[in-house]
Structure 1
Amino acid sequence: MDIFPKCSVCKQQFTLKGPVPYLLPCLHAVCETCLTSAAGGVISCSTCQREVNFTDTRLQKDAVRQKQIFHLTVKHRPSELLCTNNDDGNQAVCWCQECEDFLCEYCQNMHSSVKLTRKHVLQNFSDMEPTVSNIPTLCSIHKCHPIYLFDKSCKKLLCGRCRIEDHADHHVETIDSIADTITKYLDDHKNALSKLQARQQSHMESIKQGSESTDRTHYTLKESIGHTFQALRSQLDQREKELLVDLESHTTGTKEALHERLTTCAEDWKTSTGVLDYIAKVLLYASKSDILDLESCVGKMTQICLDTGIPQTHDVPTAIYNTSSLSKLKSCISGFGTILTCEMDGESVKDKDTQTYDFIADLEMKHKMDITELKTKIDADEKHIESLKLLTDQLNAEIKSLKSRIDEKENVEKRAAKTMDFLLDLANEYGVHLLNPGAVDTSMLLKCIHLKYDKDSVNLDKVHINTEGDLVNRKSDTRPAGEGRLKKYWGTCSTAPHPRAGCPQYWEMKSRVNLDKPLTGNVLILELGVCRGVQRDVSHCINGEPSTWCMQVAQCTTHGGICRKTWKEGKHVLCLPDTLPNTAGASHTLHYGVVYDDARKKIVFIDVKENKVMSTLDNVDSSQPVWPMFGVYMPLSGTVSMTLVVGSDINMTEEKKAMIVKALSSWWQ
């Protein structure tokens, strides 16, 4: 249940009989197991990412969380509480605060009948509430003397005898007085933090309002920009049409004038040609008397032809395209429409919007004046008109391209939203992690599946599952009925086979191993792996059977120590030495991860503590369902307890994902 506090390092829930919680300087808790196994004496709190070097900092037991765990267990897991009398092992029903004992119904009756304990107040689990104990704590030095003093010089709790013997000259006050003072300080801290939280909440609300205001401003300005540039485009299109009309009118007038001149000149040429031909005939046929008679008439016509003035050259008026204000217009356009951040104290959003539109209106008026001035100066020719058409075509092409990119971006955002919805749906069902950023294919997803021990299949003649849910290498004291239990295998299987997910599936196992004496021969310590259903109870372990894939920790005669061995379908694949010391009293925590990928037909075994891949088994036959198997051994040489770490309890770091990707990399290459 998530209401139980968890270790800030391994994320395991604290239990009443589990590792003791210790208080970190950041007020988070770390379990005793993580504290004793921390590398280099340094612990990193995963909640606030602070590092603590406990070789320099003395950590104290977290008494507050211990009491919290006690009351949460009484309230939510009373079935795990057994009578303190280890001989009967009955279910506890009440608690004696003075004796600090759990009592069953029989011991409760005995407790109330014995003269020494009959006045003790017994609390039933249903009536228990968190309260401060009024029972005095006895001195660890003077066993019968209660502690009620505090030495402020030595920072130490004292009884009356300690005060007289060793602390007579020190500054000593009663615990009640010191506790009342500290309680006032805690109340002051509580009030100050409450006020700080109120200010933080107000500040976050202000930031949210600012974000919403920014979105509204963005929408308003976006519309204004669109309307403004649409108006400018319309005005440019209109001006283009006007220039083309002016050009056509100018060209038509010029050509008509030239055509008129050409007609007149042609008629004069025709007249001159006729006079010239007649003169030639006179010279050929006329007598001298005829020449005298014709001289006056021919002379008059010749003079008429000569009086028609024809210039040596003829200048045709040339039209020009006046762009004297074009550079100024371009400069205005390049600086037009800048987005400004305005600080307007005391002005409402409505006022800001009004000023924004007034600013745009002023710019529109200014550009209208510039365009009007441009109209009075432009006199275009055909070449410049073609250039303007080309520019317009380019602008339309850019607008079309921009619209296409906008549509493409919207489609990408829609696909991204669908992808996110897809991932969220998966995350609601499993602990899901993306192995390849940006991928949508489910084969790139890693599922931290929720495996469970099958309690109905446990071989109770060899092992059992304790109250903490761990698989332990001791046979059970009780033998519940059940025909489906394993009879040969020293352990159990999962409640169901691996699902056919089409993507990598991941789970972890954390095991605590304690050796009472050195191991000799090929002695198994633990085993984990997968096999087909028919192989689950063929032998005490699955390593030598077909259709099995597993990893074992065992004493190795080849290397003379404890090794990690990998097996595939009954054949030995790999042996990694120096797993833990083979000496009496040796204690070690082993932490392994297993990746099963039915699509790629691979199984990967990972050493989580060493951050490395131990072995990758290829060509795994996934045509039929395979069952996860868990075995614990060597009951005469020590203790082995195996805990499953699954689902959201797995600390999926980037290093783990990188290891998994590397182990499965042949599929991506």
Structure 2
Amino acid sequence: MDTYPKCSVCHQEFTLKGPVPYLLPCLHAVCEKCVKSAAAGVISCSTCQREVNLTETIIQKDAVRQKEIFYLTIKHRPTELLCTHEDDGNQAVCWCQECEELLCEYCQNMHSSVKLSRNHAVHNFGDITPKNLENETNCNIHERYPLDLFDKSCYMCICCQCRREEHADHEVVYLDEAAEGVTQRIEQHRKDLSALLSRQQTHLQSIRQETQLTNRTQDTLRKTIEHTFRSLRSHLDQREKELLMYLESQTRETKATLHALETSCEEHHARCTNISGYIRKCLLYASTSVLLQLETTVEGMTRTCLETASPGTHDVPEAVFNTNGLSKLKSDLSGFGNITTLKEDSEGGTPEDKQTQTDDDYLADLEQKHEMELAKLESNIASHNERTEQLQQLTDKLNAEANNMKLMLAEKHQTCQVALETINRLQTFLIGFPAEGCVHLLKTGVVDRRMVLNCLHLKYDKDSVNLDKVHINTEGDLVNRKSDTRPAGEGMLKYYWGTCSTGPLHRAGSPQYWEMESRISLDKTLTRNEHILKVGVCREEQMDWYWRGGRSSSYSMAVAHCTTHGGICRRTWTEGEYVRCLPDTLPNTAGASHTLHYGVVYDDARKKIVFIDVKENKVISTLNNVDSSQPLWPMFGVYSQRLLTVSMTLVVGSDINMTKEKKAMIVKALSWW
């Protein structure tokens, strides 16, 4: 389980509903409770022993750790999260990235059914990553505009409206561009600290090896001294004790020196590790604005670590036991024996000492000294080999990362080139599309007018509505009820239970698309081919006869009772001829309610009309050889007011949710390749 961050003063774990974390200049966190209760306005960080005077230093909330706490709570303690709408009291199951709200199952369904929030990015707890928690921030002054620019002069995030006003003469770049530069610089700080940590780790390992070697040397010398003085025990008991005490004292000083070096290096290593860890959290959790705020502090702490790094080498003298002049010392026991370092005894004793030794004593001393030097040399060789292996592994890793970076840069450059070429080609043929609506490229990387789907911004023609049968309510929906608000006009339809669009379809040479969402409630069971709704296209002179199933140059899809299948089916016609019947649209039961969602594709270039069931994500029927020699008008009909209630809503333009699955279905229905 991931560790929750703790307050560096009271050492309590931060929780989602607990005191808010604040960021100290040393990049450690302190809780709001400790900030408010700081004695004399001074906070002492127990992690690095740095004192902060709150009267002189302004500290801010730690946005990085706040996001980390929220993410860890979602990951490990989701039962603590309740729906943002506290009146429900339900446990939350998902997170809306745009609203920044926790939602229970009920509120999630309501959220996705409201028009303003149906397209929001809602993530289940199991699918949330740190990047899902980021959200676009709007300007505090111009609330409608996002903070997508960065003013280098004022060093702050601004919106496009601010750019036109008080920041008009300043140096401004896109926020993503500024954030990318900050990210690269902070990433470089992390790499510098990683290199320093690697050097410190090697230095620590060297110190520990020297400590072990010192211990081995001590053991060897102890044995040598004991062996020497056993032959001189009757004369050297007192001197032996003195030398052993001196050896212990010198060893203790050496080990104390090594321990002090080790402690200092470990403290600096821990400090660099903490700062490096926080930098990783910044890169993982921090938003672009927080990265910009933290850059100066992170750079200062990194520079401090690099400047105060302990040296990579050390010089500790090694003790040896000198037995030169053993024969002479038998007569001069009071001055026999001393503990020296290898540097002091590098010559192996003075000529006078050698002359006083017997051959056996001298050879024994030389053999002992050579054994010690050989042991140290072997230890140094092993240490150097290990360091060489570590450096080789680091070199291989850096080379692999460099190759990966080159590949990524090459792919990014190629992608940018393709995108630029695609934009240039799109600009040459998108001119001429209707101003209203929304266009989608059905196949990525292929620029062809026939492969651009134009989501039309259709409207019901209120002047053509057959008010004796249907009307358009205050929400703009077509309803199968007679109008009680105004008398029928002269231009209205007299037989068709519905209306048409305000204008015919364009001869654009590219596919055109619109959708209808209908809410249906059955009051009685349908029989004898009663109709529910009907959509399609026809010529202007066919509008009032469209209800009969269509004549020449009319193409339609109807939802109605089917005596063949004994239920409610979807049936399509082309120029008065029956084409296809798909059963089981909704239960034919009194009291049943259902929502039907259909889409229509009109492709003038390929002479095709496609009817799509959006909810089931499948094609109902594709009509070929469409006669478009004269303009075709979209038609909308709702029926059987005595048996049911129908409310049809147009879903057009940018309100259409154009998914990858829907694009693939349209491409397959039009059969391009």
Band of TM-score, shorter chain: 0.3 to 0.5
TM-score (norm 1): 0.41
| Bigger radius of gyration | 1
TM-score (norm 2): 0.41
